[in-house]
């Protein structure tokens, strides 16, 4: 099964196209109907949308599993390769679920950064959804590019080893690195923006641009959006290879990744106020990166080319669940750092 792509894009392009149209429709519904007027997103609203996105992801996963159960026994490529089609369909469902959980867990790290960005630029809560909405659109584009490149590069074993070693290094570094404050002034995109056009220090409602004495200025909302986009690109460098460690199927990487990103805004508004309580989660995320890195450089080969996906799912769930549970049980160390 390792040598055969179950969902080649030449045959299953319509799933990619249909999924992309679905995402565009949901985004249009989100901004055009539910958030036409800028408002502060309540916990109840965020929780509702979180349930919606997770439910949609699970429904998609179940539908894909059922489709694979029906379609794979008819696929001559798989039959010729001697693949157990029922086992392959089950593998599809488990790999999507594992990838989705990994991306969801890593997305919590984004939330820490978003909180600091919005605090630094003093972005009103009513406008934070607007920034995250356009930030998500940019993230979808960049993730699609990264996944397409990864699908090509991951065919070469040396690249798999390099990415795996990078994830192990990143995870170990994350375990021992001290937390750093976000300093947008050092961001290359912000410095570039200031060379192109002046930046206003004052808001102009929900607008990214404003005119002062007839001259066009960028508002803090645009600056914050650029920092959000830049941070997501940095996160994608970790998260995309991490999911490729679980599955080599570009369709599963793409859909699980996108579903997790679509639910990121709702998760932010749910957790932004209590994110400091999960002070040990970063260690759990670091261990997950180390684990998936080891899968790429060692464990997959040690298990005849494929580390059991059920074991992967269990290990990741225990690490993330354990770090969250310990965060709630163990009080954080006292910090003399002043509040933002």
Q: Are 231 and 25 in contact (CB under 8 A)?
A: no
**Mean pLDDT on 308-314:** 88
Cβ-based neighbours of 300, under 8 Å, separated by 6 or more: 306, 307
335 in any annotated domain: no
43 in any annotated domain: yes
| Nearest Cα to Cα of residue 247 among 140, 99, 103 | 99
Least confident of 70-74, 146-150, 185-189, 282-286: 185-189
340 in any annotated domain: no
Q: Residue 210's beta-bridge partner residues?
A: 217
64 in any annotated domain: yes
Q: Give CA separation, 130 vs 107, 111, 180, in Å.
A: 18, 15, 26
pLDDT digits (tens, 9 = 90+) for 171-199: 898 888 766 665 666 667 777 777 888 88
Q: Is the pLDDT of residue 118 over 80?
A: yes
Q: Are 130 and 38 in contact (CB under 8 A)?
A: yes
Q: Considering its fold, how many domains does the chain have in total?
A: 1
pLDDT at 35: 63
pLDDT digits (tens, 9 = 90+) for 25-83: 888 887 666 666 766 778 888 888 889 999 999 999 999 999 999 999 998 888 888 88
Q: Is the pLDDT of residue 24 over 90?
A: no
Q: Which domain holds residue 82?
A: 9-329
pLDDT at 337: 45
338 in any annotated domain: no
């Amino acid at each position: 099964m390792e040598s055969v792509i179950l969902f080649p894009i030449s045959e299953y392009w319509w799933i990619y196209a249909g999924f992309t149209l679905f995402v565009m429709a949901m985004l249009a519904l989100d901004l055009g109907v539910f958030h036409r007027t800028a408002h502060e997103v309540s916990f109840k609203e965020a929780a509702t949308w979180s349930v919606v996105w997770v439910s949609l992801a699970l429904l998609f996963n179940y539908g894909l599993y059922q489709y694979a159960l029906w379609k794979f026994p008819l696929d001559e490529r798989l039959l010729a390769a001697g693949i157990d089609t029922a086992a392959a369909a089950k593998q599809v469902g488990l790999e999507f679920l594992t990838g989705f959980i990994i991306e969801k867990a890593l997305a919590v790290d984004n939330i820490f950064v978003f909180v600091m960005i919005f605090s630094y630029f003093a972005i009103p809560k009513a406008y934070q959804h607007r920034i995250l909405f356009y930030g998500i659109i940019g993230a979808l584009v960049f993730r699609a590019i990264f996944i397409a490149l990864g699908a090509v590069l991951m065919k070469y074993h040396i690249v798999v080893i390099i990415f795996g070693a990078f994830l192990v290094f990143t995870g170990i570094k994350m375990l021992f690195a001290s937390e750093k404050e976000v300093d947008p002034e050092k961001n290359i995109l912000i410095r570039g923006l200031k060379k192109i056009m002046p930046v206003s220090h004052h808001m102009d409602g929900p607008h990214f641009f404003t005119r002062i004495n007839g001259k066009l200025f960028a508002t803090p909302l645009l600056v914050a959006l650029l920092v959000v986009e830049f941070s997501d690109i940095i996160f994608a460098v970790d998260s995309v290879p991490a999911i490729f460690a679980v599955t080599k199927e570009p369709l599963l990487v793409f859909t699980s990744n996108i579903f997790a990103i679509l639910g990121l805004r709702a998760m932010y508004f749910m957790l932004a106020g209590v994110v400091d309580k999960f002070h040990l989660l970063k260690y759990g995320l670091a261990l997950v990166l180390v684990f998936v890195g080891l899968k790429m450089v060692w464990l997959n080969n040690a298990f005849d080319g494929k580390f059991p996906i059920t074991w992967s799912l269990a290990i990741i769930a225990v690490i993330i669940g354990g770090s969250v549970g310990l965060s709630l049980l163990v009080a954080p160390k006292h910090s003399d750092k002043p509040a933002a």
